[in-house]
Amino acid sequence: MDFQPTLEQQLGLGANEMTSRIIRLGWVGRGDNDRTHVEASMVQSRRIASRVAAAHRHPTRRACSIASVTTFENAFITGASSGIGRGLAERLGRKGTRVVLAARREAELQTLAESIRAHGGHADTCVLDVADTDATRKAIRHWNEETGGLDLVIANAGVGIMKPAHRLSWEDVEPVLQVNVLGAFATLLAGLEGMVSRGRGTLVGVSSLAAMRGLPKSGAYAASKAALATFLETLRTDLDRKGIRVVDVRPGYVDTDMTRKNKFKMPFLMDVDQAADLTLKGIERGDAIVAYPWPTASAMSLAQALPNPAWRFISKRIKM
Ligand SMILES: NC(=O)c1ccc[n+]([C@@H]2O[C@H](COP(=O)([O-])OP(=O)(O)OC[C@H]3O[C@@H](n4cnc5c(N)ncnc54)[C@H](OP(=O)(O)O)[C@@H]3O)[C@@H](O)[C@H]2O)c1
């Protein structure tokens, strides 16, 4: 018997109200005259979507994962100079993890390292451009030896760009792929080397809810995050029996330097401290996917389960 609550049950809504709310999430413009068509498609796919979405809030799943919380000795974090990476580093530092803070802005890294040390933690800095994949792999190998073994490696560094396809140039796309794809893959693979030999460790990639469906004006960014999400999924499958956990963090909108330049209304914009708390909890539990905030995560799960024509109809009307 299947005791998983449907998406409507979780939200306490009826099917029609549920559909209307998804449409009204703030992404779809007013005056959509073909709404009945979309509603029909959405209701049709509701059964599949509710199973996917239930994973975000299913109590049994949460109860199971709470049982195995991991603490970390030595962590390497890219993109630690601001935003989510900085929040993660602060929290890990407070918990006694030795953190290696990597990014390009040295002054920000030094300030953070001093603040972690002032609170009794242990922090080192590593000035690094992850687009230089040789330097990235060298740095991680170095810190793996220096710390006596990294048991947590977080590929968090990322850059974003929002432009419609007809204005997108190769100069826009290439750096996004270099940082979000090549930089992240190099970080994860170099981190993996030491973990395989020790038979334990946690690899984390910060992808995005944008990885889950082709969103407007997000071609380069969403595709780069989809590549990372798929890479993480494959790593998880291959490393399942090797004692290595693989966590895919999928934030929605979080209030950081990256999103402050956005001029559109960001649904369910989350405070960076809350995002860092949720991310670290998910990492400690070794969750396969850590997706937040839950309304956006559920909407994206539903979007993923929608038939392509319904998504084409909706995506053209999303305001970004
Ligand atoms: N904010 C959101 O709404 C959101 C949503 C989904 C996913 N994410 C993902 O979350 C991650 C963190 O982003 P954030 O929101 O915290 O934004 P952020 O405050 O702009 O942080 C981005 C970090 O990445 C680092 N970085 C960028 N390019 C780098 C490079 N070439 N080499 C090394 N480090 C580099 C930056 O440091 P330096 O500039 O000092 O190098 C900075 O520390 C990113 O992967 C982003 O795609 C964010």
Q: Angle 15-23/35-44 helices, nearest 10 degrees?
A: 120
Residues 171 and 271 in one domain: yes
Q: Which residues contact 303 (CB under 8 A, 6 or more apart)?
A: 212, 213, 311, 314
Q: Token match 């798929």: residue?
A: 230
| CA of 105 relative to ligand 1 center, distance in Å | 12
Q: Is residue 54 part of a domain?
A: yes
Ligand 1 and 131: CB distance under 6 A: yes
Residue 293 falls inside a structural domain: no
Which residue range forms the structural domain that includes residue 13? 7-61+304-315
> In one letter, which amino acid is 17?
E
Report DSSP state, residue 217.
T
Whether residue 299 is contained in a domain is answered as no
156 lines ligand 1 (CB under 6 A): yes
Low-confidence residues of the chain, pLDDT below 50?
1-45, 47-49, 51-67
What span, in angstroms and rounded, lies between the C-alpha atoms of 19 and 17?
5
Judge if the beta carbon of residue 205 lies within 6 A of ligand 1. no
| Co-location of 160 and 46 in the same domain | no
Catalytic residues: 221
Residues in the chain: 320
Same structural domain for residues 73 and 179? yes
Q: What does the pLDDT read at residue 320?
A: 78
What pLDDT, on the 0 to 100 scale, is given for residue 22?
47
Q: Are residues 173 and 46 in the same domain?
A: no
Is 256 found in the same domain as 126? yes
The structural domain count of the chain equals 2
In a domain, 235, yes or no: yes
Which helix (H) or strand (E) is 219 found in, with range? helix 219-239
In a domain, 290, yes or no: no
Question: Which pLDDT score is estimated for 318?
Answer: 86
What residue owns the CA closest to ligand 1's atom 42?
79
- pTM for this predicted structure: 0.84
State residue 65's pLDDT score: 42
Co-location of 105 and 26 in the same domain: no
* 3 state SS of 99: strand
Query: Could you tell me the distance, in angstroms and rounded to a whole number, from the CA of residue 258 to the centre of ligand 1?
Result: 7
133 in contact with ligand 1, CB cutoff 6 A? no
Task: Please report, as a single letter, which amino acid is at residue 157.
Answer: A
Ligand 1 centroid to residue 51 C-alpha, Å: 31
- Using DSSP's 3-state secondary structure scheme, residue 295 falls into helix
Ligand 1 mean position to 13 CA, how many Å?
36
Same domain, 52 and 120: no
Q: Is residue 1 part of a domain?
A: no
Tell me how far CA of residue 124 lies from CA of 85, 110, 147, 281, in angstroms: 14, 8, 10, 23
Q: Does one domain contain both 173 and 33?
A: no
| 78 CA: nearest ligand 1 atom | 34
